[in-house]
Structure 1
Amino acid sequence: MLQGFAGMETTGHETDAVLIAIGVLIIIVAAFGCFGAWKESPKLLYIFAGCLIIIILLELSVGIAAAALRPQIEGTMKTQLRASFIKNKSTREEDSVYREFWDRVQSSLECCGVTGPENYGASEPRLKPSFSCCPPDNSDEVDEIKRSDCLSMEKYYKEGCEDKVLSTVHSAGLSVIVCGILFCFLEIAGIVLALWLAHSIKTEGKGRETA
């Protein structure tokens, strides 16, 4: 999402690799818990609990790092958004990706420009707001007439995209934080149950030896 809102082309391969790695890790960790419970092996259950503790520590470290880097990430996003907006105003064919990016952002987030539609005329080349700044028009008129009416009557969106992009990223980040907290509680429950089961198995084993 950060790469996409910075006007960068994203392939998704990095995300796929991370998800695959996480999936493999989850299978390995879960295997220790399953086989430990099935074979009644305290060692495997202790390994399972230890892996969960490591995962929780990693989650906490990532959360702390993300909180510490948040101002830097926001500053970088603002810089890249403004740089991509300048390229969006370019007429060069190689900059068409930035025009497509801004058209997509402005139409989906219902905003115009970085801080407002005045950004289009603030620096060279001085342009009128893009057609993507205009609200959807379901009339039967051709696009040229729709755009002309929108610009002449100033129907285009008045809010800038910078704040809306940051708000969208913050909302996504909040969802990740909530999910992370829920997973932490589940992992803590898994640690407690694994240790309890391992202790019960060891206690039962000693009881059999005594008997």
Structure 2
Amino acid sequence: MFVDVNNVSRSCAKTLLLLLNGCCILVALCTFIFAVVDTKILQQYGEDRANGTFTGDIIIIVACMLLICLASFGSVGAMKGDVKILYFYIGFLMIMVILEMMIAIYVSLQRYGLEFRVSEWLREDFFRNTTDDIVHNDLWDNLQITYECCGLNGPDDYEAVRKQISLSCCPRAFRARTTYARQLLYRSCVESSTFYNDGCEDEILYALRSDANWLVGVAITSFWFEAACMLLAMWVANNSRKEVSVYVQSIRY
């Protein structure tokens, strides 16, 4: 019993190419969801400060959709063994890799700039002279509950501006349903110092850096997946073309 090594290797290459395309689609879907969620998170920093980063998220969403379509296109070419589709797939994939590198650089620069803008905005907003500014208080309540932080650099900042520690620094008191329970829990929180101890500036900047690092990691992962897809697609296309050539020559003779 003889085993056709070429057919077996070609089948393995097609299967592996389909798996890699599936991984590319999965990565693109995860990145798509991340970018959509991130656009909503960026709204709390204001349109002026997050404008470039918001644009970067939109570009990422479009790139993810293109990658999903391209991976599906390549999967069809692999299943059919169509040489033309595979060569088109390789060409588009090369263009996609270049675009992703440019997008990664653009997003990284925008994230880096956003850190400075957000840091400056937080310091200016926290220490500005406010008394009963509802918008200001709601903003900091939202930030402190979301990022589990208190003040700009810590709860001592409230003492510096001659204010009581914010109610949102004590999560149990902030979420209490009645005024009486809120007062009791807040008093207990302040007396036992069980409020958040980390400053909001560090927590927010850490979250921004983590997002940037995650996006760079995704870009690097996608690059290796796509590079492997290009090599496999090229190998499958060349073997399919040779098989067609051998078949045509055998018919002629």
TM-score using structure 2 length: 0.64
Aligned residues: CA RMSD: 3.5
Select 1:75's aligned residue among 99, 102, 116. 116
Q: CA deviation at 1:56?
A: 1.6
Select 2:84's aligned residue among 43, 47, 72. 43
Select 1:58's aligned residue among 91, 99, 114. 99
How many Å separate the matches in 2 of 1:45 and 1:5? 45
Q: Residue type matched to 2:143 in 1? A: V
Q: CA deviation at 1:152?
A: 4.9
Residue 181 of structure 1 corresponds to 220
Select 1:110's aligned residue among 111, 128, 148. 148
Residue 201 of structure 1 corresponds to 240
More helix by share: 2
Q: Residue type matched to 2:217 in 1? A: V
Structure 1 pair 154–88 and aligned structure 2 pair: CA distance change class (3 A): farther
Structure 1 pair 178–88 and aligned structure 2 pair: CA distance change class (3 A): farther
Conserved in 2, the CA contact under 8 Å of 1:110 and 1:157? Answer: yes
Equivalences for 1:1-211 in 2 at 5 Å? 1=38, 3-4=42-43, 6=45, 21-22=62-63, 24-85=65-126, 89-93=130-134, 95=135, 98-123=136-161, 126-134=162-170, 136=172, 142-152=181-191, 154-211=193-250
How many Å separate the matches in 1 of 2:76 and 2:213? 35
Q: CA deviation at 1:78?
A: 0.6
How many Å separate the matches in 1 of 2:169 and 2:204? 15
Q: Residue type matched to 1:117 in 2? A: P
How many Å separate the matches in 1 of 2:83 and 2:68? 19
Structure 1 pair 133–206 and aligned structure 2 pair: CA distance change class (3 A): same
Q: Residue type matched to 1:187 in 2? A: E
Moved more, 66-75 or 46-55: 66-75
What's the CA shift string for 1:168-210, capped at 9, x where partnerless?
2222333333333222222111111111111112111221222
Structure 1 pair 52–90 and aligned structure 2 pair: CA distance change class (3 A): farther
How many Å separate the matches in 1 of 2:188 and 2:99? 55
In structure 2, the residue corresponding to 1:128 is in which secondary structure?
A: coil
How many Å separate the matches in 2 of 1:64 and 1:16? 13
How many Å separate the matches in 1 of 2:70 and 2:60? 15
Structure 1 pair 31–179 and aligned structure 2 pair: CA distance change class (3 A): closer
Q: Residue type matched to 2:144 in 1? A: Q
TM-score using structure 1 length: 0.75
Q: Residue type matched to 1:115 in 2? A: N
How many Å separate the matches in 1 of 2:189 and 2:43? 28
Q: Residue type matched to 1:147 in 2? A: Y
Q: How many residues matched?
A: 203
